[in-house]
Amino acid sequence: MQDASAWMLALAGLCIGVTAGFFVRLARLCSFGAVEDALMGGDTRRLRIFGLALGIALLGTQALVIAGQLDPDQSNYTAPALPLASIAIGSVLFGVGMAFVGTCGFGSLVRLGTGDLRSFVVILVLGGAAYATLRGMFSGVRITVLERFAVTMPDGVSTDFAALTRYYTGIDLRALIAALGGGVLCLIALGDKRLRRTPRLLASGVTLGVLTVIGWLATTRLADPFAGPVHPQSLTFVSTIGKAVYAGLLNVGNFADFGVGTVFGVVAGSFLAAWRADELRWEAFDDDHEMRRHVAGAALMGVGGILTGGCTIGQGITAGSMLALSWPIAILGMMLGARIGIAVLVEGSPRELLRRRFDTWREWLQRRPQPAVTAANKPSRRPAAPSDAPHQTAPRSLAE
């Protein structure tokens, strides 16, 4: 019989997921859409909403830490070693895959709840690739190769900004860092007049931030310490999708998990929002090209998300709320990967993208302006001044 606390955690995850899926679907919030708007259109409104969610999550999570309700050392995001190579490579792969699919793992769950059958395929492929990288055929390469290139913190200090500043300065600046970081992020979002006129977007950002804090608290208070080590967690949608797929195929007992509960909850919440707005629609692939693109993107997100340690929600909000050092590296890598993926989609194929870029660089080199001619290097047309040194003259002709 499954432990009761495990099923309580799964139920808590289900409720949190339903709430997140409902409000995000209602606002049509999408992490890739936010990145695409900012990179391609210069519109940062949706990106600011994720900043608002991170700011609220940061303030709430660090409040739990300061109050002694949450131990950062028990989180998987703040291990004493930072796997730089794994995070850098995985985040770029995840970003490219996100561009190919048009959304992240969380967004795919939201789409699935509205009747998008393309997302059903994406979830299956993403979950399979994630589980293969986490515990299957790719786990050996991840552990023995990529994670060996890790930066170990001195004296086993956690990889979070607050712990490192306390180690090097001897002063606990956690409250100051949280207040400044969270406050600035909230002000950046709320300072936009256009966002203040969109209550649905603001509500979705606030909801994501608050639910992240509730997730940390629930997995700390409801976990059974006698069942094993307590590892607090919150919203993330890569490894949890892999565990959900595995549970559905091979082990029903694995449904008793907080993360698995959030996966099914997001789908249910999105369904409720779409049903309420009369927006339930069956959607499928238009052609085989679109299917190949989605399958490739899902595989890249599954592998890349495990290497990175999270998705745009898991690293972008959850890890950020814990002040994890992995957060800025992962976010920059995902944005870089998304930009590469967009460029590939625009050009038609990676090969065509490289060929066009090579041709552009070659034309630029050929059109480079020649060095300007200055008085110092400009050749003079005046006859050379006579020299005092003897010089050889031409022999006289016999006619002379």
| Confidence tier at 36 by pLDDT (50, 70, 90) | very high
Average pLDDT over residues 221-238: 86
Q: What is the pLDDT of residue 384?
A: 46
Average pLDDT over residues 217-237: 87
Q: What is the pLDDT of residue 353?
A: 67
Q: CB neighbours (10 Å) of residue 22?
A: 24
- pLDDT tens figures, 200-210: 999 999 999 99
Per DSSP, the three-state class of 81 is strand
Number of H helices, E strands in the chain: 17, 2
159-163, 251-255, 296-300, 394-398: which has the minimum mean pLDDT?
394-398
| Confidence tier at 400 by pLDDT (50, 70, 90) | very low
pLDDT over 90 (residue 34): yes
* Token code pair at residue 150: 């890790």
| Confidence tier at 349 by pLDDT (50, 70, 90) | low
| Confidence tier at 1 by pLDDT (50, 70, 90) | very low
pLDDT over 70 (residue 378): no
Residue 279's region, left for phi above 0, alpha for psi from -120 to 50, else beta, is: alpha
Per DSSP, the three-state class of 344 is helix
pLDDT above 90 as % of the chain = 74
pLDDT over 90 (residue 362): no
Q: Cα torsion at 83, 87, 88, 92 (round to 10°)?
A: 170
- pLDDT tens figures, 105-129: 999 999 999 999 999 999 999 999 9
Question: How far is residue 120 from each of residues 73, 214, 294, 299, 345, measured CA to CA in Å?
Answer: 36, 28, 11, 13, 22
Question: How far is residue 245 from each of residues 100, 136, 364, measured CA to CA in Å?
Answer: 21, 13, 50
How far apart CA 181 and CA 195 sit, in angstroms, is: 20
Which residues fall within 8 angstroms of residue 371, CB to CB, at 6 or more apart?
none
Average pLDDT over residues 289-302: 96
pLDDT over 90 (residue 262): yes
Instruction: Look up tokens 């022999």; give the residue.
Output: 395
Which residues fall within 8 angstroms of residue 107, CB to CB, at 6 or more apart?
30, 31, 32
Average pLDDT over residues 295-301: 97
How far apart CA 235 and CA 170 sit, in angstroms, is: 32
Instruction: Look up tokens 């094993």; give the residue.
Output: 228
Mean pLDDT rounded to a whole number for the chain: 89
Q: What is the pLDDT of residue 364?
A: 79
| Confidence tier at 369 by pLDDT (50, 70, 90) | low
Rg of the chain's alpha carbons, rounded to an integer? 28
pLDDT over 60 (residue 236): yes
How far apart CA 319 and CA 58 sit, in angstroms, is: 9
Q: Cα torsion at 252, 258, 264, 269 (round to 10°)?
A: 160
Which residues fall within 8 angstroms of residue 334, CB to CB, at 6 or more apart?
35, 91, 92, 94, 95, 98, 308, 312, 315, 316
Q: What is the pLDDT of residue 2?
A: 52
Q: What is the pLDDT of residue 350?
A: 65
Residue 51's region, left for phi above 0, alpha for psi from -120 to 50, else beta, is: alpha
218-232, 279-293, 351-365: which has the minimum mean pLDDT?
351-365
DSSP state of 362: H
In the chain, the amino acid numbered 281 is R
Q: What is the pLDDT of residue 192?
A: 85
- pLDDT tens figures, 282-291: 999 999 999 9
